[in-house]
Structure 1
């Protein structure tokens, strides 16, 4: 049962359903039809998102916008001349990474030096904020010691993958925690300041300038060093988000009309004000209500890796309780939150071994399955992941269409730097997303570039670009000063 690549006018993807008897298939479709989104519906969703993007960019409307469109103060992408040694910290999930990155201009490449991964225990994710930042500072200190870098003061790129109101490149206020974090005393605070304070509490090392980076920005900047046409960063993994280079004239909350600035869309919040209520299924509502932040990040909960498995689980529970699956008998695992992991979806949808893996997964969950149950479960997985790819594509097409129109172009050629486990590991997701974008943004020629450790290298690239711009500014000032002296002599 593979997804069909061809598209028609009404439904851009067809799901094959081999091995399911017609009567059973009719019943299964009654559960899954609400997940099947036509091209027309996707275009409507894109129109709604475009309205939200404009609202988020507005000087007076952004306070109430579901899609927050946060300025990042990153005003340029790499041009290949960046160079130097940098530190990178990456906090965006249950693991925290430290990297030493060396950028070599003469070889036009980024060399990642040694890195270290530190786990963040669940109790620390929900404990006092000071404890979390002390843990980050300790991990960084141990890394610097292991690399004999304690005596060096290096610039630091800090990837912090949570919604923040960025005031400057080195000042960023946490709006709210996501991804299961609930540390007290951090929301409403400047996370760069909290990091510096934790480093100073240790007293055994220091860092130079700090550039605050969202993971999408890091992905864009990392890929931008390899492909200078990369002006979009997109993550579809545990969560989902995107950034892109917006015309400054449209960023009403920043006092400048010149050039471009990278905007962190925080598109996971799309739908938080009810704009997706008509396409939310009863299972989406269940997932939202069971989450740690009900009513928040509705779009993310419909498509990302943290929630996709739960959508499938709720579907399977409902179908089992209605007698359509497993002879009406559930199991403790199926009834437990997280009992059906999102990674199972990717494994079950593999072309060759998917059905066999499905059997193994269902048995491991304590379910007594009949042969027909296996392709039905696969069809459920296929439908849920297909909707995820289409919704993500609708959002990406909205961004590319906006860039094209804002720049007054008939045709836009751009590259999207992409990262995230769903995009990387699902066997069909990337192909379906790309095909859908082509349908929804036909005047845009979009290339997709997988990030190579985007969050870490990208954070270093942001600091590298900032230093490059500062050097260029100093040279320009010196040049103008020299011209002024010449004028005086005349």
Structure 2
């Protein structure tokens, strides 16, 4: 029987596998792999159609509020100069962990032993309890305040007090509406969160209330999204940075937009006008494009994607994220394995309750399989045994590795669409996309696959380009360092004696 790899020349939807064969598949499994190849492969032509729709939704978000992709205004007016200095405490509420960091920015200090090390970082990471994702606002902010208090006691001692408060930056990587930089009304929970009492409320005010309740020596200066943080942190060292991207538990991007192109902004807002009274300057936009194509106009929906959406806390929302983000890739893989098991094609002589449990597998499971160079794929065998309690055959390893590749390739190619849409909309032809997140920085082949897809969308080969003009770089610590830099920039802005700056201070 002709294998899927041999059909590449005949069928444009096939992707040549980058993996070495472990074993031949049975005719039944080969047929299943051909079906899965066709379902998960997204051609260059299809990517372009997705990007066309992506551009439309990005533009809609700049025109008015309440659109599918919200294009949230952040009140970050510029990228850093690289000279910013100061000591800032940062708090990062992610999808899996809570992190507290003391960041000292050195800027352009000449007395550094290593001039490239422009900051120092002291941090603690706390794994979020599983119950917190479905807790209440009171439980969430109490937990966070406790960890802030622990960090202050352990790391800062009596250095700060009521008259000498430490500036605090908060990385809140969920869709939020901001009327100013230290304010953030949560639009909707993402990343599997469903905490009562926060949606529609000012998360900054709720956090500030708990800080004051515990009398912590902190002043909340800014609330940022991790995409904006990634962009700013990278620009602190790399002035070719054009976009900040997150390819991890969720997916999103941020970029600098011209203020006049953001039509939904109040034309009478003094903060946005130059000395002649015209709208001017730049504004960092947090796209929140995990919600792209919630109507499923262009995304190629498989039955596995539909199952994930139906069982998620927010069915019908965050469609793009559910196709491409790290939270879901392992679950897509698991659903396919369960289906093939139910058909009697794999794991015939074994039972695994863990395989039947939702979200047992994460993207790291897929990454380890694709990165396995051990003899006889011993590491992959151990992985299946440790995580699922399964002894796997050579054929099952071959199928699993090829399946992991199909799903990861689709995710990487889709992740290129959001960046391509921003670049085409803004006329960006070169620069660096500062990427943070576990998928971008830990999956062994994500960056290569992402770059290939971006080149197909932007026709780099047809243009005869010898080098990729837009490249993905590993972002600096956006949620920690980037947040601290934004806080430092905000403090610098507030210190300027102008009416426009005064109007930015929290009220």
Bucket of the pairwise TM-score, normalised by the shorter protein:
0.7 to 0.9
Deviation at 1:105, TM superposition (A): 2.6
The 10-residue stretch of structure 1 (376-385 or 392-401) with the greater mean CA deviation from structure 2? 392-401
Partner of 1:376 in structure 2?
A: 399
Paired residues for 1:10-409 under 5 Å: 10=12, 13-16=15-18, 18=21, 19-21=23-25, 23=27, 24-59=29-64, 62-63=65-66, 65-107=67-109, 109-146=117-154, 147-148=156-157, 149-151=159-161, 152-203=164-215, 205-254=216-265, 255=267, 256=272, 257-276=279-298, 279-327=300-348, 330-350=351-371, 352-353=373-374, 355-364=377-386, 365-367=388-390, 369-404=392-427
Q: What SS does the corresponding residue of 1:326 show, helix, strand or coil? A: coil
8 Å CA contact retained: 1:9, 1:39: no
8 Å CA contact retained: 2:372, 2:379: no
The 10-residue stretch of structure 1 (162-171 or 99-108) with the greater mean CA deviation from structure 2? 99-108
Deviation at 1:197, TM superposition (A): 0.7
8 Å CA contact retained: 2:91, 2:100: yes
Deviation at 1:301, TM superposition (A): 0.9
8 Å CA contact retained: 2:14, 2:41: no
Question: 2-side partners of 1:133 and 1:125: how far apart?
Answer: 12
8 Å CA contact retained: 2:51, 2:420: yes
Q: What SS does the corresponding residue of 2:394 show, helix, strand or coil? A: coil
8 Å CA contact retained: 2:170, 2:220: no
8 Å CA contact retained: 2:186, 2:198: yes
Partner of 2:474 in structure 1?
A: 450
Deviation at 1:458, TM superposition (A): 0.7
Question: 1-side partners of 2:451 and 2:322: how far apart?
Answer: 21
8 Å CA contact retained: 1:7, 1:14: no
Q: Which runs of 5+ in 1 are unaligned?
A: 405-410, 478-490
Deviation at 1:308, TM superposition (A): 0.7
Partner of 1:484 in structure 2?
A: none
Q: What SS does the corresponding residue of 1:157 show, helix, strand or coil? A: strand
Deviation at 1:231, TM superposition (A): 2.8
Question: 1-side partners of 2:126 and 2:343: how far apart?
Answer: 45
Q: What SS does the corresponding residue of 2:219 show, helix, strand or coil? A: coil
Question: 2-side partners of 1:446 and 1:248: how far apart?
Answer: 24
Partner of 2:446 in structure 1?
A: 429
Change (3 A) 1:249 1:330: farther
| CA offset digits 1:158-212 (Å, max 9, x no partner) | 1001111111111110111122322221111111111111111112x33235111
Q: What SS does the corresponding residue of 2:90 show, helix, strand or coil? A: strand
Deviation at 1:371, TM superposition (A): 2.1
Change (3 A) 1:31 1:119: closer
The count of corresponding residues between Structure 1 and Structure 2 is 464
Partner of 1:439 in structure 2?
A: 456
Q: What SS does the corresponding residue of 2:199 show, helix, strand or coil? A: coil
Deviation at 1:242, TM superposition (A): 0.9
Deviation at 1:475, TM superposition (A): 12
Question: 2-side partners of 1:102 and 1:73: how far apart?
Answer: 23
Alpha-carbon RMSD: 2.8
Q: What SS does the corresponding residue of 2:398 show, helix, strand or coil? A: helix
Question: 2-side partners of 1:394 and 1:291: how far apart?
Answer: 24
Deviation at 1:264, TM superposition (A): 0.7
| CA offset digits 1:422-471 (Å, max 9, x no partner) | 11111111111012112222478213221232211111011112233345
8 Å CA contact retained: 1:103, 1:110: yes
8 Å CA contact retained: 1:82, 1:105: yes
Question: 2-side partners of 1:307 and 1:427: how far apart?
Answer: 18
Question: 2-side partners of 1:165 and 1:475: how far apart?
Answer: 23
Q: Which runs of 5+ in 2 are unaligned?
A: 110-114, 273-278, 461-467, 502-507
Deviation at 1:26, TM superposition (A): 3.3
Deviation at 1:104, TM superposition (A): 1.5
Deviation at 1:384, TM superposition (A): 0.3
TM-score (norm 1): 0.88
Q: What SS does the corresponding residue of 1:416 show, helix, strand or coil? A: strand
Q: What SS does the corresponding residue of 1:73 show, helix, strand or coil? A: coil
TM-score (norm 2): 0.85
